[in-house]
Amino acid sequence: MRKTLYLKFILAYVLFGLFGFFIVATFISRLTFAFFLQHDARNLYRCASEISETQAVSLYNSEVSLDSVQRQMELIGRYTETEIWILNPSGRMVVNTAQAPDPEKEIVVEGFDPTVTQGSYYTTGRFFDSFSEDRLSVIAPIISNYKTRGYVIIHEPLERIDITANRFLNITYVLLIVLFLLSMIILIFFTEVVYKPLRSIIRATEQYAAGNMNYELNIEGEDEMGYLAASLGYMARTVASSEEDQKKFIANVSHDFRSPLTSIRGFLEAMLDGTIPPEMHEHYLKVVLNETERLTKLTNGLLTLNNLGTRGMLLQIVQFDINKTIRSVAASFEQTCRNRNIRIRLILSGQTLFVEADMDKIQQVLYNLTDNAIKFSPENSEVEIETTEKGNKVIVSVKDNGIGIPREDQKQIWERFYKSDLSRGKDKKGTGLGLSIAREIIRAHGENITLVSTEGVGSKFSFTLKRLDINDAPDDLDDLGRWLRDMRDNPDEIDEFAPPEEDGSQK
Ligand code: ADP
């Protein structure tokens, strides 16, 4: 492709030149000759008619002498560089500017026929073999008393018309050469602006195809080529980084699967070969069970992420009460909270707060955030879940007074499998997938999730949701719902957590 594109352009250029010369040499040349022939014929005929109406008629009416007409014709002939004849209808020469006719010796144009012009006023050729080379001959009849008394015939060598036409053609050739040379600028321009950058791009794509994603493509400029090169470079960098991510991902997955499997295998072998005595079996079987739970959690997390990562994740957008969802998630942590004496405080805006989102997925986000908040909180502390309205958005935040996240880790915690060193000792079961899942879900909704955290003080995760206008709330609200909606005007801002009466779906 590389060679042919350039060759094609050169070929087109050469063809353009050759074709131009061919057209000028044939078509234009013929047209030019015809144009000058017509032009001269018209002028000469006008001249011949003039002579026939004046001098020739006078001659036939014997008003002027033959000598005087002969001299006058010679004068005109010399001036126009032509040969002028006056012939009788029978073809007898009366006047000839090339050679004055001898009254003693009659000259007759053999076979003279005035209709030789075939309806036109001129003819080309050797004029009844009177000349050795071709002439343009115009014939004008001499009419007196309604009778044709003779003919005025003017001859001009065709060679002269040829010379004039060729002179004109030469100018055209020069013009064509100038044009051809000028169009070379286009060729040079094409080479510099299109061909060379294109070659660099092809070289780069070959390198990328061979796996060298770090190949530098140096094409600058704001035109389409520059844009193409920049896009290609961006694509290469993205592919390179996604390859890197993939390697990291596989390494993480393998590592996270291998450690529980190794410990399960170790315990089972120890039980089988008696290293662990039978009375301790129950204890270690529980440990093994714990590890298998972790593997299940890991597999489920990976599956969820895989589904979320697929482009155009299908969300089942419904209108629901986020406050109710929060209450139900909080309820599902009741036992855990009781064990560690942690209180979940709900600060909800209004009794009901309708949003438009995928309820199950938002519930999962809430579950992941609350789970983390409890996991990383000390005993006897408090976790706050708050909803606030801002314009057409609802902000949901989950705040804890736990270990916090070091500043340098705050960007990475959203990555798959990332666990900050601070948390490792406290959470051996964590997969490092919870926050990536939460972020993917919120992003799929076109919303944002953010984190504010201080090491040793606590963390606050907040995400936005699309608020449903109260007037758009579903019509099928039950009586309680309608009553709650009316209550919105006097919301009880602080709502202490109490297990809800509705059954909250547990995760
Ligand atoms: P995991 O299953 O390990 O909790 P996540 O993706 O949910 O995975 O969290 C990733 C890491 O972010 C955690 O291992 C922890 O280091 C940190 N993290 C998340 N939430 C909190 C929090 N509320 N307080 C302190 N650290 C947190």
10 Å Cβ neighbour count for 222?
8
Q: Which of 49, 266, 301, 57 is nearest to 153 (CA)?
A: 49
Give dist(CA 94, CA 80) in Å, integer. 20
Instruction: State if residue 372 touches ligand 1 by the CB under 6 angstroms criterion.
Output: yes
For residue 392, the one-letter residue type is N
Instruction: State if residue 418 touches ligand 1 by the CB under 6 angstroms criterion.
Output: yes
Query: What pLDDT sits at residue 204?
Result: 92
Report the nearest atom of ligand 1 relative to the CA of 421.
16
> How high is the mean pLDDT in each 10-residue block of the chain (507 residues)?
74 90 91 95 96 92 92 94 94 92 86 88 93 95 91 96 94 92 89 88 92 85 87 90 81 80 91 92 91 87 74 79 94 90 94 93 93 93 96 96 92 83 63 87 93 95 89 52 50 42 37
Instruction: State if residue 376 touches ligand 1 by the CB under 6 angstroms criterion.
Output: yes
Query: What pLDDT sits at residue 181?
Result: 92
Report the nearest atom of ligand 1 relative to the CA of 373.
23
Query: What pLDDT sits at residue 213?
Result: 87
Looking at domain 317-496, its CATH class is: alpha beta
Nearest residue (CA) to ligand 1, atom 25: 404
Nearest residue (CA) to ligand 1, atom 20: 372
Query: What pLDDT sits at residue 225?
Result: 87
- Residue spans of the domains in the chain: they are 5-181, 317-496
Instruction: State if residue 402 touches ligand 1 by the CB under 6 angstroms criterion.
Output: yes
Q: Ligand 1 centre from 406 Cα, in Å?
A: 11
Q: Ligand 1 centre from 193 Cα, in Å?
A: 53
Instruction: State if residue 430 touches ligand 1 by the CB under 6 angstroms criterion.
Output: yes
Across 104-226, the runs of DSSP E, i.e. the strands, are 122-125, 135-144, 147-157
Nearest residue (CA) to ligand 1, atom 21: 372
Global pTM reads: 0.51
Q: Which residue has the tokens 């202490």?
A: 496
Nearest residue (CA) to ligand 1, atom 11: 419
Instruction: State if residue 431 touches ligand 1 by the CB under 6 angstroms criterion.
Output: yes
Query: What pLDDT sits at residue 93?
Result: 93
Q: Ligand 1 centre from 237 Cα, in Å?
A: 29
Assigned architecture for domain 5-181: 2-Layer Sandwich (3.30)
- Fold: same for 5-181 and 317-496: no
Report the nearest atom of ligand 1 relative to the CA of 432.
8
Residue 144 CB-half CA count within 13 A:
17
Give dist(CA 377, CA 400) in Å, integer. 6
Give dist(CA 149, CA 87) in Å, integer. 9
